[in-house]
C-alpha cells in the first residue's frame, strides 16, 4: 500500500511543532507572526502570477473543446448551448457551471462487474465532498475577513450570521468550520482507503489536505476549546493588513501561531503545486473554447509550412496509369 | 495473430485489483499480442521522419535509440510545452482525484492501472516534473518525479499505444484534462526517436504518396468504384457513372478509403453513390485527395497537416465550390478542429449551400466542408428523398456514436435523424454509453491492428456490453455507425462478444430505403440478402 | 489566438479581490478598543473569575449559566474561590458592567461578534 500520506503527515506535524516551539520556547513571535505571513503572501502572489503568465506564454494552436452535447448545425436540431457552446456567452456559462458547480465531476459514474455484464452507476460522492470542501473553505476564508477589516462590513457579519444559523453553543458553531474539516477528512480518507485512489496518490496529494485539516483543527481549537484572546489576534492581523505590523503585548497562545504558520505555508505552497488548479481550470483549452471552428477560423501562432505532396508530384508518378484508366490529367 | 481467450474467459480475467508494486516499478508487458509491431523503416524514410539506429522490436532489450535520445526528448518536450498550452496546463493541474480512472474502455476491459487516464498522463508528468519543475528537481520521487530512462521510453511506447485518443476521460475530468492530448504528445515524442507503429505509419506513408491510407493507385480506385456501380446496377437496375478529378464540379466528395475496400464499408460507399445519383448532385471524387481519414492524427501535428493539405489543394485545383465529407470518426476531428487552422483559410471556396434544398450551412462558413449526415438530414427534412423505411424492417438498429464526432464536434442528432427516417426500428443504448459518454470501438487511433486482438476485444468490451444490453432487451441485430474504423473494428468485436449483431454505415441504411428513379423492384438489400428474413420461417 | 489581455485582466481582478483588506483599511493603523470599567466594577476589583479568563471564556461561562438556570433551575454559581454568585446576566453581570456600549459592544463590534444575549435579556439604560 502507498504510504505517501505518512511523509505528508510527518511534514505537517513537524511544521506545527516548529511554529509552536518557535513561539512558546524561542519567543520568535515576530518571525511567525509577521515575517513568515508576509513572506508567504508575497510568494503566493508572485508565484501565482508567474505560473499563470507562464501558461499564458504557451500558445493555443488549435481550438479543441471537448463537446458534451449537440453541436449547432441545422435549425431543427436543438443545440446544447452550454455543454457544446458555439458562442463566447455559451463558453462563459459553461465555465461558470464548471468552476462554481463542478459540472464535469457531477457526471461521475462507477463501473461494476455484475455477473457476465458491466454496469455503470451514477455516483455523486466525489462531487459532493469536493463541493462541500471547496465552498466551506471559501466561506471560512471570507469569514476571516473580520480579522482584516475595520470596521467590519455588514456583508461579512451577515455571512457569519448565516454560517451560525444553527445557534449551537457559545461561541456559536460555524457550519462551514465543521463541513470544511469533514470535507477535507472525507477526501483524505478516500485517498487512504480506496485502493485505486491510493495507488495514484502522491505525497503531494496528501500534504495540502493534511495541511488544511491542520488549519481547520487549530482554528476550531482556538474558537471552541482552548480559546485565544481574539482582541489581540485582531490587533496582530490588523497590523499586518495595514502594514503596521506589531506583536500585541501580553501575547497570544502558541496555537494561534501554528494556525498562522500553516496558512502561510499553504499560501507559499500553492504556486508550486497542483493547487494551481484554481487558476489552471480557467485556462483549460478543452473547456474555455467555443466549438465554432468550422464557422470562425482559429489562428495558430506557430503555424508553419510543412512538406506536402503536391498534385503535380502525384500526377508525375501515376500519369500513365491515369491516362490509361481514362482519368483526366493536367499534362498529357 | 496471437491467440485470444474465449469471451467468457477474457471477461473473467478482468481484474481491477491493485498491484502490490508501485506503478513505476511494474514493467510494461511486451509478450506477443500485447504490443503493436514497429513500423518498417521504409515508411519513415519515405516521409523524412526521424529514425532510430536500426531495426528493432519492442521485445528487444536495446531499442536502437539515437545516441542523443535524452536530449531529443528533453528538447522535444520543451518545444511542445511552449507550443501547446493544453500540455503545459494538463501537466500542472491534475489533482489525481481519480474521476477519470474507470472511464477508459481499456481500463474497464482489462484492469491494468496504467490504463487509467490519470496514470497514463503520469507517465509523462513524472518526467516533466523531473526536467521542468523546481519541486521535482529538489524532492525527486517524493514529488512524483522520475528520471527519464530507456525503461520509461518503453513504458511510453506500450501505453501511448494503448490509448485510442477517444477523449471520454476529458468529459469527466473537472479540469477537462484530455488524455488524447497527452497521448498525442507522447506519440510525437516517441516519433522523434524513430519509434512508431506500422499500422499508423504505413497508412501515413501510403496516404502521402497515393492520396489514401490503403495505397490504392488512381486507376485501381476508379476500377473499385466502377465495380460498386456494377453491383448497384444489378440490385436496382440503375447505372451510375461517378466521375473523378473532374474540374468545375460543384462539390468535392471525400470519404475514408476504408469504404472503398472492405465490407461493410463498401455498402456505405454504394449508399453515397446511390444517394448522389438520386438527387442529381454535381460532384466529383478525387484520386489524389482520396482519403477522408488522417492517420497523421495518430502520429504528429505535422503529419496531420501534411496529409490534410490535399483536401484544400485539390478543391482549389478542381475549382469546386465546397467539400462534402463522408462518414468517418477521426476525420471529423481533423476537419472540425484542425483543418481550417492548419491549411486554411479556404477563401477560394464558398459557404456550402445544398443545391437541392438551398440550405446554407452557416456552421461551416469558414471551413466550407460539411458532414454527409448534415447534408442528408437536410435533404430528408425538406422531403427531397423518396424513402421506404420498411425495406430496413428486418433490422432492429442501434447507433454507436463514434468518439470524435461526439466529443470533438457534437454530431449527435444528425445521424439519429437520418436513421429514424430510414428505419422503423431504432433503439438507443443506455445512457452513459452513448452521445458524449459513448464508448470507443476499442480500435481507434491506429490500434485496429491484428496483433493486439486481445487488447482490442478488451477495449471494445464496454461498447459490446451496451450492444448486448439492447440486443437482449429489444432484439437489436444491427449496429449503425458513422466511422470507417468502426466499420472495420466493430464486426470482429461483435463477432467476439455479440455475434448476433451486424454492423452497418448509416448511408447503407439510407440506400436500402432510398426509392431511386427508375429502379426495379428491390427484393434484396445492398448486401444481396433478402429484404425480409422472416418469410421463410413463416412458410414453415 | 492572443488571450494574454484577458488573462492579465483576470489576474488583476483576482488579486484586487484577494488584497481587499490592504486597500480597504487605507493602510491606517487601527486602535484596539479596551472595555471600559464602571466605577462599581473598578471598586469590586475582581469579577466572578480572573480577568484573563473572563476575556476569553466569558461566553462559555454565560452559556453554562444559561443551561443550569433554564434547564436545572440552579440559580447559584460558585466560583473557584468558593464565593457564590447569582447566575444572571442581567442582575449579576450588568450590575457592575452597566455600561453595555462601552463594556460589551466595543470589543464585540471590533471582532464582529454579535451575540444574541439581548434578544431576550434587558440591559440597563445608559446615560449619554
Q: Does any domain span residue A9?
A: yes
What pLDDT sits at residue B128? 97
B341: contact with A, CB 8 A cutoff: yes
Q: Does any domain span residue C29?
A: no
Provide the pairing of β-strand B283-285 with B251-254. Answer: parallel
Interface of A with C in 92-131 (CB under 8 A): none
C114: contact with A, CB 8 A cutoff: yes
A248 and A317 housed in the same domain: no
What pLDDT sits at residue C1? 57
CATH number, domain of A270, equals 1.20.950.20
Q: Does any domain span residue B531?
A: no
pLDDT digits (tens, 9 = 90+) for B131-170: 999 889 988 888 899 999 999 999 999 999 999 999 999 9
Domain boundary among B166, B195, B224: B195
A188 and A320 housed in the same domain: no
* Chain C residues within an 8 Å CB radius of A303: none
Q: Does any domain span residue C25?
A: no
For residue C16, the distance in angstroms to the closest alpha carbon of chain A comes to 11
Whether the Cβ atoms of residue B155 and residue B129 lie closer than 8 Å to each other: no
Q: Does any domain span residue B117?
A: yes
For testing contact with chain C, the best of A230, A255, A288 (most C CBs within 10 A): A230
For residue A130, the distance in angstroms to the closest alpha carbon of chain B comes to 10
Q: Does any domain span residue C100?
A: yes
Q: Does any domain span residue C93?
A: yes
Tell me what ipTM this predicted complex has: 0.94
Of A4, A291, A299, the CB nearest to B410: A291
CATH number, domain of B187, equals 1.10.1060
What pLDDT sits at residue C30? 65
pLDDT band at B423 (very low <50, low <70, confident <90, very high): very high
Between CA B228 and CA B265 the distance in angstroms is 12
pLDDT-above-90 percentage for chain C? 28
Residue B207 has pLDDT above 60, yes or no: yes
Domain of residue B156, residue span: 7-30+50-195
Contact across the interface for A60 and C59, Cβ inside 8 Å: no
Average pLDDT in the B211-227 region?
96
What pLDDT sits at residue C29? 60
pLDDT band at B16 (very low <50, low <70, confident <90, very high): very high
Task: Return the residue matching grid coordinates 503585548.
Answer: A249
* Chain A residues within an 8 Å CB radius of C111: 146-147, 230-231, 234
pLDDT digits (tens, 9 = 90+) for C25-79: 876 666 888 888 999 988 988 899 988 889 889 999 999 999 999 898 888 999 8
pLDDT digits (tens, 9 = 90+) for B85-94: 999 999 999 9
At residue A64, φ and ψ (nearest 5 deg) are -125, 50
Residue B333 has pLDDT above 70, yes or no: yes
B161 by DSSP, 3-state: which?
A: coil
Interface of B with A in 381-400 (CB under 8 A): 381
Contact across the interface for A150 and C63, Cβ inside 8 Å: no
pLDDT digits (tens, 9 = 90+) for B355-414: 999 999 999 999 999 999 999 999 999 999 999 999 999 999 999 999 999 999 999 999
Number of domains composing chain C: 1
Q: Please give the helix or strand (H or E) that residue C64 lies within, else none.
A: helix C51-67
DSSP label of B93? H
A102 and A203 housed in the same domain: yes
A234 and A330 housed in the same domain: no
**Nearest residue of B to residue A304 by CA position?**
B342
A93: contact with B, CB 8 A cutoff: no
What pLDDT sits at residue B540? 38
Domain boundary among B195, B222, B242: B195
B347 and B475 housed in the same domain: yes
Q: What is the overall mean pLDDT for chain A?
A: 94
- Classify residue B355 by burial, with Cβ atoms within 10 Å: 0-12, 13-18, 19+: middle
Q: Does any domain span residue A301?
A: no
Q: Does any domain span residue B350?
A: yes
Grid coordinates of B523: 427484393
Contact across the interface for A294 and B369, Cβ inside 8 Å: yes
A268 and A312 housed in the same domain: no
Exposure string of B281-304, with b = 16+ CB inside 10 Å and e = fewer, is bebbbbbbbbbbbbbbbbbbbbbb
pLDDT band at B538 (very low <50, low <70, confident <90, very high): very low
Between CA B48 and CA A266 the distance in angstroms is 50
B99: contact with A, CB 8 A cutoff: yes
A247 and A138 housed in the same domain: yes
A18 and A155 housed in the same domain: yes
Contacts of residues B219-223 at CB distance under 8 Å and 24 or more positions apart, as own/partner, are B219/A318, B219/A321, B219/A322, B219/A324, B219/A325, B219/A327, B221/B260, B221/B287, B221/B290, B222/A325, B222/A326, B222/A327, B222/B287, B223/A325
Of A145, A229, A301, the CB nearest to C55: A229
- For residue A122, the cross-strand partners are A109
A209 and A312 housed in the same domain: no
Q: Does any domain span residue B495?
A: yes
What distance, in Å, lies between the first and last C-alpha atoms of chain C? 67
B121 and B220 housed in the same domain: no
Q: Does any domain span residue A300?
A: no
pLDDT band at B2 (very low <50, low <70, confident <90, very high): low
* Chain A residues within an 8 Å CB radius of B83: 58-59, 61, 302
B298 and B397 housed in the same domain: yes
Q: Does any domain span residue A195?
A: yes
Domain of residue C55, residue span: 35-119
For residue C12, the distance in angstroms to the closest alpha carbon of chain A comes to 9
A224 and A102 housed in the same domain: yes
Is it true that the peptide bond before A171 is cis, omega within 30 degrees of 0? yes
For testing contact with chain A, the best of C4, C112, C113, C114 (most A CBs within 10 A): C112
Number of domains composing chain B: 2
Identify the CA nearest to C80 among candidates C59, C43, C53.
Answer: C53
A11 and A103 housed in the same domain: yes
What pLDDT sits at residue B467? 98
Grid coordinates of A114: 455484475
Average pLDDT in the B58-77 region?
96
B364: contact with A, CB 8 A cutoff: yes
What pLDDT sits at residue B539? 44
Intervals of chain A under pLDDT 70: 1-2
Domain of residue A332, residue span: 308-332
Whether the Cβ atoms of residue A150 and residue C25 lie closer than 8 Å to each other: yes
pLDDT digits (tens, 9 = 90+) for B170-203: 999 999 999 999 999 999 999 999 999 999 999 9
At residue A238, φ and ψ (nearest 5 deg) are -70, -35
B362 and B445 housed in the same domain: yes
Between CA B116 and CA B304 the distance in angstroms is 27
At residue B196, φ and ψ (nearest 5 deg) are -140, 165
Of B119, B174, B342, the CB nearest to A200: B119
B313 and B382 housed in the same domain: yes
A144: contact with C, CB 8 A cutoff: no
Kindly report the CA angle at B294 between A91 and B441, in degrees rounded to 5?
75
* Chain A residues within an 8 Å CB radius of B414: 73-74, 77
pTM attached to this predicted model = 0.94
A173 and A251 housed in the same domain: yes
Number of domains composing chain A: 2
Give the orientation angle of helix B117-132 with respect to helix B69-83, to 10 degrees.
100
Contact across the interface for A306 and B94, Cβ inside 8 Å: no
Q: Does any domain span residue B39?
A: no
Residue B75 has pLDDT above 60, yes or no: yes
Q: Does any domain span residue A14?
A: yes
B191 and B208 housed in the same domain: no
Q: What is the dihedral of CA A305, A308, A312, A318, to 10 degrees?
A: 180
Amino acid at each position: 500500500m502507498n504510504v505517501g500520506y505518512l511523509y505528508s503527515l510527518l511534514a505537517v506535524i513537524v511544521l506545527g511543532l516548529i511554529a509552536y516551539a518557535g513561539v512558546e520556547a524561542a519567543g520568535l513571535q515576530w518571525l511567525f507572526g509577521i515575517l513568515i505571513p508576509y513572506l508567504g503572501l508575497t510568494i503566493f502572489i508572485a508565484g501565482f502570477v508567474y505560473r499563470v503568465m507562464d501558461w499564458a506564454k504557451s500558445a493555443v494552436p488549435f481550438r479543441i473543446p471537448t463537446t458534451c452535447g449537440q453541436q449547432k448545425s441545422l435549425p431543427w436540431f436543438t443545440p446544447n448551448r452550454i455543454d457544446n457552446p458555439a458562442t463566447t456567452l455559451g463558453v462563459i456559462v459553461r465555465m461558470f457551471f464548471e468552476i462554481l458547480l463542478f459540472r464535469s465531476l457531477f457526471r461521475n459514474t462507477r463501473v461494476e462487474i455484475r455477473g457476465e455484464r458491466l454496469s455503470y452507476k451514477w455516483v455523486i460522492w466525489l462531487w459532493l465532498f469536493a463541493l462541500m470542501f471547496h465552498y466551506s473553505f471559501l466561506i471560512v476564508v471570507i469569514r476571516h475577513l473580520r480579522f482584516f477589516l475595520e470596521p467590519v462590513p455588514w456583508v461579512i457579519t451577515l455571512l457569519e450570521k448565516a454560517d451560525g444559523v444553527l445557534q449551537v453553543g457559545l461561541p456559536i458553531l460555524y457550519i462551514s468550520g465543521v463541513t470544511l474539516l469533514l470535507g477535507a477528512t472525507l477526501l483524505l480518507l478516500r485517498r487512504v482507503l480506496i485502493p485505486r485512489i491510493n495507488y495514484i496518490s502522491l505525497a503531494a496529494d496528501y500534504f495540502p489536505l493534511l495541511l488544511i485539516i491542520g488549519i481547520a483543527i487549530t482554528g476550531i481549537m482556538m474558537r471552541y476549546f482552548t480559546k485565544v484572546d481574539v482582541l489581540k489576534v485582531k490587533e496582530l492581523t490588523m497590523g499586518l493588513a495595514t502594514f503596521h505590523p506589531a506583536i500585541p503585548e501580553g501575547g497570544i497562545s502558541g496555537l494561534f501561531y501554528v494556525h498562522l504558520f500553516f496558512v502561510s505555508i499553504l499560501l507559499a505552497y500553492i504556486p508550486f503545486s497542483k493547487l494551481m488548479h484554481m487558476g489552471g481550470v480557467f485556462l483549460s483549452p478543452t473547456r474555455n473554447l467555443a466549438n465554432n471552428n468550422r464557422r470562425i477560423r482559429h489562428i495558430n501562432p506557430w503555424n508553419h509550412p510543412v512538406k506536402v505532396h503536391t498534385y503535380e508530384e502525384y500526377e508525375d508518378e501515376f500519369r500513365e496509369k491515369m491516362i490509361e484508366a481514362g482519368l483526366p490529367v493536367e499534362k498529357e | 495473430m496471437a491467440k485470444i481467450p474465449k469471451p467468457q474467459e477474457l471477461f473473467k480475467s478482468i481484474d481491477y485489483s491493485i498491484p502490490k508494486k508501485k506503478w513505476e516499478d511494474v514493467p510494461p508487458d511486451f509478450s506477443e499480442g500485447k504490443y503493436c509491431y514497429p513500423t518498417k523503416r521504409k515508411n519513415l524514410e519515405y516521409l523524412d521522419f526521424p529514425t532510430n539506429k536500426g531495426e528493432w522490436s519492442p521485445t528487444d532489450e536495446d531499442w536502437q535509440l539515437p545516441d542523443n535520445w535524452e536530449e531529443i526528448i528533453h528538447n522535444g518536450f520543451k518545444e511542445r510545452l511552449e507550443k501547446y498550452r493544453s500540455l503545459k496546463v494538463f501537466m500542472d493541474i491534475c489533482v489525481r482525484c481519480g474521476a477519470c480512472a474507470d472511464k477508459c474502455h481499456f481500463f474497464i476491459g482489462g484492469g491494468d492501472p496504467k490504463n487509467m487516464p490519470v496514470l497514463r498522463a503520469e507517465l509523462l508528468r513524472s518526467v516533466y516534473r523531473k526536467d521542468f519543475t523546481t519541486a521535482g528537481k529538489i524532492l525527486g520521487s517524493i514529488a512524483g518525479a522520475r528520471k527519464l530512462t530507456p525503461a520509461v521510453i518503453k513504458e511510453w511506447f506500450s501505453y501511448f499505444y494503448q490509448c485510442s485518443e477517444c477523449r471520454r476521460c476529458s468529459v469527466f475530468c473537472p479540469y477537462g484534462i484530455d488524455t488524447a492530448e497527452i497521448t498525442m504528445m507522447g506519440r510525437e515524442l516517441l516519433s522523434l526517436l524513430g519509434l512508431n507503429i506500422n499500422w499508423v505509419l504505413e497508412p501515413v506513408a501510403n496516404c502521402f504518396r497515393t492520396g489514401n491510407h490503403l495505397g490504392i493507385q488512381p486507376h485501381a480506385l476508379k476500377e473499385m468504384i466502377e465495380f460498386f456501380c456494377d453491383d448497384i446496377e444489378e440490385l436496382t437496375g440503375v447505372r451510375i457513372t461517378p466521375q473523378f478529378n473532374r474540374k468545375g464540379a460543384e462539390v468535392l466528395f471525400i470519404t475514408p478509403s476504408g469504404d472503398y475496400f472492405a465490407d461493410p464499408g463498401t455498402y456505405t460507399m454504394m449508399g453515397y453513390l446511390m444517394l448522389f445519383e438520386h438527387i442529381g448532385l454535381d460532384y466529383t471524387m478525387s484520386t489524389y485527395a482520396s482519403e477522408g481519414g488522417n492517420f497523421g492524427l495518430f502520429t504528429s501535428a505535422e503529419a496531420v497537416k501534411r496529409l490534410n493539405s490535399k483536401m484544400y489543394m485539390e478543391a482549389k485545383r478542381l475549382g469546386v465550390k465546397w467539400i462534402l465529407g463522408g462518414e468517418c470518426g477521426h476525420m471529423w476531428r481533423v476537419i472540425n478542429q484542425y483543418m481550417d487552422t492548419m491549411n486554411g483559410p479556404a477563401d477560394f471556396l464558398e459557404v456550402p449551400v445544398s443545391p437541392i434544398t438551398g440550405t446554407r450551412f452557416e456552421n461551416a462558413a469558414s471551413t466550407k466542408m460539411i458532414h454527409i449526415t448534415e447534408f442528408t438530414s437536410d435533404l430528408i427534412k425538406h422531403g427531397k428523398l423518396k424513402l421506404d423505411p420498411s425495406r430496413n424492417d428486418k433490422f432492429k438498429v442501434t447507433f454507436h456514436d463514434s468518439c470524435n464526432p461526439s466529443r470533438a464536434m457534437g454530431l449527435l442528432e444528425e445521424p439519429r435523424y437520418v436513421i429514424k427516417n430510414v428505419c422503423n426500428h431504432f433503439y438507443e443504448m443506455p445512457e452513459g454509453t452513448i452521445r458524449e459518454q459513448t464508448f470507443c470501438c476499442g480500435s481507434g487511433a491506429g490500434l485496429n491492428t491484428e496483433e493486439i486482438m486481445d487488447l482490442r476485444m478488451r477495449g471494445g468490451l464496454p461498447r459490446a456490453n451496451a450492444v448486448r444490453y439492447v440486443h437482449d432487451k429489444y432484439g437489436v441485430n444491427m449496429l449503425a455507425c458513422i466511422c470507417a474504423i468502426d466499420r472495420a473494428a466493430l464486426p470482429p468485436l461483435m463477432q467476439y462478444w455479440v455475434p448476433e449483431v451486424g454492423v452497418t454505415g448509416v448511408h447503407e441504411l439510407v440506400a436500402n430505403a432510398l426509392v431511386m428513379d427508375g429502379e426495379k423492384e428491390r427484393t434484396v438489400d445492398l448486401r444481396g440478402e433478402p429484404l425480409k428474413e422472416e418469410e421463410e420461417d413463416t412458410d414453415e | 489566438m492572443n488571450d494574454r489581455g484577458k488573462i492579465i485582466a483576470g489576474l488583476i481582478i483576482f488579486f484586487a479581490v484577494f488584497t481587499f483588506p490592504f486597500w480597504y483599511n487605507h493602510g491606517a493603523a487601527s486602535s484596539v478598543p479596551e472595555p471600559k470599567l464602571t466605577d462599581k466594577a473598578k471598586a469590586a476589583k475582581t469579577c466572578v473569575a480572573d480577568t484573563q479568563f473572563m476575556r476569553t471564556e466569558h461566553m462559555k461561562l454565560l452559556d453554562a449559566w444559561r443551561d443550569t438556570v433554564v434547564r436545572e433551575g440552579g440559580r447559584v454559581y460558585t466560583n473557584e474561590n468558593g464565593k457564590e454568585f447569582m447566575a444572571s446576566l442581567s442582575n449579576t453581570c450588568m450590575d457592575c458592567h452597566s455600561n453595555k456600549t462601552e463594556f460589551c459592544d466595543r470589543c464585540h463590534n471590533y471582532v464582529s461578534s454579535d451575540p444574541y444575549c439581548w434578544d431576550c435579556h434587558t440591559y440597563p439604560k445608559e446615560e449619554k
